[in-house]
Every structure is written in C-alpha cells, then in structure tokens.
Amino acid sequence: MDVAFVLYPRMTALDLVGPYEVLGHQPEVTAHFVAASLEPVITDAGLTIVPTTTFAELDRADVIVVPGGGGWAEVLAEGVVAAWLRTAHPTATWTTSVCSGSTLLAQAGILDGRPATTHWALRDELAARGAVVSTERVVVDGSVVTGAGVSAGIDMALTLVGRIWGDERARFTQLFIEYDPEPPYRAGSPESAPAELVAFARGVFAGR
C-alpha cells in the first residue's frame, strides 16, 4: 500500500510525523514523502525533512496525507499542492488531512459540501472554501478523513488504521506507540480552555 505524505515549506512536523508513526509501522505500507522538488523542506519550527519523490514523479497513491502548518496560506497562493491533489485524489482509496491541511483539500475541490474539521483557528477559513465545518476531532466522510489541529493527526491515523485493517490492528498500534494521552492541562481546545487564554491565542493567530 503506497502512502503519500505531502511536504511543503513551513508545514508543522507533528502533522506529518504523528500519522507517519501510526501508518509507517503497518507492514503493508510503503511511505513516500512527496514535494514540489527533492530539495530539503524546512518545517515551521525548523526541522528539516528530505523528500523521497516529487509531485511530477508520483501521480497516485492508495492513501494521501496532507499536513497543515504555518505555510498553508503561501501554499494556497502557489496552488501546486492543490493541483497535485486534483490529479492524485480521484484514484486514491483514502485522502486525509491534518490541521490546516484541510484548506489545501478544500482548494482542490475535495471538500465541497463535505463535513470536515481543521485547527480551531481556521474554521472560518475552511468554511469559506466550501466545507461544512465540524468541531469534531476526526471526521470521516466517504473516502475523505480530516483531523483537527496538530496532535489530532494521531487520532486521524488510528481511525484510518481501524477502517483499513480493523479495530484490533488499530488497538495494537495504539498500544505499540503507547498513545495514552493524559495532558497536564485542560486547555487543548477553545471549548475547554479558559476564555481569556482563547482570546489571547486568537490575537496571536490574527497577528500571523
């Protein structure tokens, strides 16, 4: 099973690495790290990731994973990822996104009229691009699976493992990576964080 992990400048590393840790351990999976060129990609926090193939070389995959990140607006403006998605999505069994990666799916027309989720700060951006925005952590609609912000990529990928290989495989994978989160604070979403913290965070995002 070929899984294409999309790379682009200023993407968020965990959006990619979380799903990769889940999917990359499946014995049936061959991972491809696909980008516009083979030049190293620098994430929004400075991690360097080296692509293994390019959009021109890889035009199809069984599963597509599109991360989000600080560079999402620039990637939307360039249109290169969306153009590749328009080619690769129709033959994919599953097309997925994490965080603001959903805006790239939307730009490609994949989320028109579909329920989808994204990072809480980008819900309006996603709605403006034709999706029916959900506040759920993971949304499955047909062959399209979207995850909310950053850490939700692990949940998205475990959901996908369950759909492809069954619940027992997904449970084993969860145990294998010891994914048993007990966050030290209850502040992971606008619905759970203190109102003043949410207001401050919205101001930070607006300033970007």
Asked whether the whole model's pTM tops 0.85, one would answer yes
Average pLDDT for residues 83-108, to the nearest whole number? 98
Nearest by Cα to 59 from 92, 29, 37: 92
pLDDT at 206: 83
Q: Write down the mean pLDDT value for the chain.
A: 96
* Percentage of the residues of the chain whose pLDDT score is greater than 90: 96
10 Å CB burial of residue 166 (0-12, 13-18, 19+) is exposed
User: Any idea what the Cα angle at residue 17 is, between residues 16 and 23, rounded to 5°?
Assistant: 95
99 carries an active-site annotation? yes
* Choice among 17, 99, 111, 152 that is catalytic: 99
Q: Is the pLDDT of residue 9 over 90?
A: yes
Q: Is the pLDDT of residue 207 over 80?
A: no
Specify whether the CB–CB gap between 63 and 92 falls below 8 A: yes
Q: Is the pLDDT of residue 208 over 80?
A: no
Q: d(Cα 11, Cα 14) in Å, to the nearest integer?
A: 9
Query: How many angstroms from the chain centroid is the CA of residue 33?
Result: 14
Nearest by Cα to 85 from 63, 70, 100, 69: 63
pLDDT at 205: 86
Give pLDDT tens digits for 149-200: 999 999 999 999 999 999 999 999 999 999 999 999 999 999 999 999 999 9
Give pLDDT tens digits for 108-125: 999 999 999 999 999 999
pLDDT at 110: 98
Q: What secondary structure, in 3-state letters, does 41-109 show?
A: EECCCCCEECCCEECCCCCCCCEEEECCECCHHHHHHHCHHHHHHHHHHHHCCEEEEECCHHHHHHHCC
Specify whether the CB–CB gap between 108 and 82 falls below 8 A: yes
Residue 159 has phi, psi (to 5 degrees) of -60, -45
